[in-house]
Structure formats: structure tokens, C-alpha cells
Structure 1
Amino acid sequence: MIERLETLTSGNLPAAADLRVLTEDVRSLYEDVAWHLDDDQVERFPDFFIDDCSYQVVSRENFTEGLPQATIYCDGIAMVRDRVIALRQTQVYVPRAWRHFISGVRVMAVVDGQLHVSANFLITEAMSDQDPTLFLVGQYLGILVRVDGQLKFRQHLAVYDNHHVRRSLIVPV
């Protein structure tokens, strides 16, 4: 179940120094995920989630209207893993390279020890025989928890602003 944006912005924030440290931890998580995806190491993607997780890629319109349709929908770590297995074992696609650019990383609230976070993303795609193009742009909304000292996603939403997705969403965003 997606927690609404209004919920993500309610809660307490720690003192400024602690908030800076938390924000850097969140930035590091997003950059680690992006690096592995850009390096075609999608098998590592599930490592960034807890077992009871939600991962969705959804249009801004559907998110704003509370509509249930998501372009990618994974409820639980098994579905996240299945997404990677399907990518590697069943899908055939033209070789391509992605680059993730992440900015505006913010801790919006800390609720019951969970970080409610947001960040902007821009993803480019380069096909093997074409110049790079803008693939997706939008906002990550997440709920993070610490497991053995590492931040992991309980909820990871990629809410994209594109009017439409020009090509298939093959790899996780």
C-alpha cells in the first residue's frame, strides 16, 4: 500500500546536525542503487530492500489521483527478485545504457524510527546505435529503515512526470 505524500511529510525532524548526517546516508543509498543499475548490476537491486517492502514505478497522474495502476508493481521482496530474474532470463531487448542523476535529496520526516524521504531523479538512456535521450524524470518517495546499520527501503516509489514512457521499462528505476 502506498503511503500518501501528505503522510510522508508529517512527523518530526531531528536537530540540524543529525539531519545532515541522515540526509548524507540517504543520498549515499540512492547513489549506490543508481551506480549498480547504471553498471548493469540489477541482481544487486533487491539487496536494498527489506522483505516486507513495496516498490512501484507510477505516473504522477496516477499517484496524485490515488489510482492503483503502476507501470512496475512489486509487493514484497519476492516480487522484486522476480523482476530481476525475469529481466535476466526471459526478456530480450536491444543493449542500452542508463545513467541516473539524483538531486534534491531530503529527509521529510522521521516517524517511529523510519525515514520518510524524497529525491528528484532524471534517467537517460542510450541505445547501442543512438545518442542518449531523456528516459524518465520524476521524484523518488521512500520510507527507509535501518537493518544492521544499513538503510533499506520499506517503500520505494518512483513517481515519473513523463507524459508517457517512450520505451519499455526494462530495468528497475
Structure 2
Amino acid sequence: MADTTSTLDEFNEVSDPSLRARIEDFLVDYVHTVDDARIPEWPDYFTEDAFYQITTRENHDAGLPIGIMQCTGQGMMKDRVKALYEANIFEPHVYCHLLGRPRIHEETPGLYRARTNFQVTRTMQNGDRELFATGKYLDVIACDGTTPKLQDRRVVLDSRRVDILIVYPL
């Protein structure tokens, strides 16, 4: 599990425009995959041993390890996806993510930290829409010259009031 408590200012900001574009495109592709309900593809955005967590700002700032949703490794992520289609019962809905421009910094060669603010609107099957979640992604991204992969993604929600219907990953 990577330490995501460091500030991005401790690392060198990525200045290579092609690398920055590749990472930004990767982050946008991730949310499009979720927004387009291509959830079986979701684990492919992570390294084999990746960590994924949805938590609140309050818990994150206090250093509390409790998450609303947490997966360690692609295997656990694939199990979660399988449960969505075979075990869980929920009202159909879709997400629409809006992303801020990410701040991307190099931690070590081939390993990058990024912070991206987000808003997610949820539309239910009956057409009702609501602002579902706001917050920030705190990412550790492995990018060794090929396709970037998330090594660690912390989804830090601004509010501790969380709808019980977090079915899909954010």
C-alpha cells in the first residue's frame, strides 16, 4: 500500500508534454470506462497488486485506514465486478464524471503521483439526476513507457454523508 499522504509539492512536476498527455488521457479513459458502464474493464486500469479505496476527507485527513469501499489487488477488483453482475441487486443508474486538470509529479523514474478533483453526477433509470459525489483522486501511477497503470488510487470524498448506493467504482 503506497503512502498517499505526501503533498505533490515534494516531487518534481511532470514537464514532458507527451508524458503528461499520456497520463491525462489514461485518467480520462478510466472515468469514461466507468461512465459507459464498461465495469468489467475497470480492473485493467490497475497493476496486479494495486490498492483502491473510497474514503471520506475526514477519515483521510485523520489518517484512519477505514474505507467505504476497498480492494487490494486486481483479483479482489475482479471479484467485486463479478458480484455486481451475479449477486448484487440495485437500481440501474449511470455516472457522469467531470474532472479538473490533474497535477502530476514524478516521484521516482516511472512512478508518478497525481491529484485530480472530480464531480460525479448520477442519473437513475427513471431520469432523476443528482450530484452524487465530489472530491479528489490521489493516485500513484506506474508508467514505464507503455500503458500507465494505477498502483494506488484513493478516492477521497468531500463529504462524510455517503449514499448507500455506491455500487460502481468512482
With normalisation by structure 2, the TM-score equals 0.92
CA separation in 2, counterparts of 1:117 and 1:4? 10
Secondary structure class of the residue paired with 1:31: helix
Secondary structure class of the residue paired with 1:85: helix
Does 1:28 find its partner at 2:25?
yes
- Residue 155 of structure 1 corresponds to 152
- Residue 37 of structure 2 corresponds to 40
CA separation in 2, counterparts of 1:13 and 1:56? 25
- Residue 131 of structure 1 corresponds to 128
CA-CA distance at 1:148 after TM superposition: 6.3
CA-CA distance at 1:53 after TM superposition: 0.6
**Can you give the 5+ residue segments of structure 1 that lack an aligned partner in the other structure?**
none
CA separation in 1, counterparts of 2:84 and 2:110? 34
* RMSD (Å), alpha carbons: 1.7
With normalisation by structure 1, the TM-score equals 0.90
Aligned residue among 80, 85, 90 for 1:83: 80
- Asked if the contact 2:97–2:119 (Cα under 8 Å) also holds between the matched residues in 1, the reply is yes
CA separation in 2, counterparts of 1:111 and 1:28? 21
- Residue 107 of structure 1 corresponds to 104
- Residue 50 of structure 1 corresponds to 47
Which stretches of structure 1, 4 residues or longer, exceed 3 Å deviation after superposition? none
CA-CA distance at 1:8 after TM superposition: 4.7
- Residue 3 of structure 2 corresponds to 3
CA-CA distance at 1:157 after TM superposition: 1.1
Does 1:74 find its partner at 2:71?
yes
What do the CA deviations read for 1:87-125 (whole angstroms, capped 9, x no partner)?
111111111111011112110333242011110111010
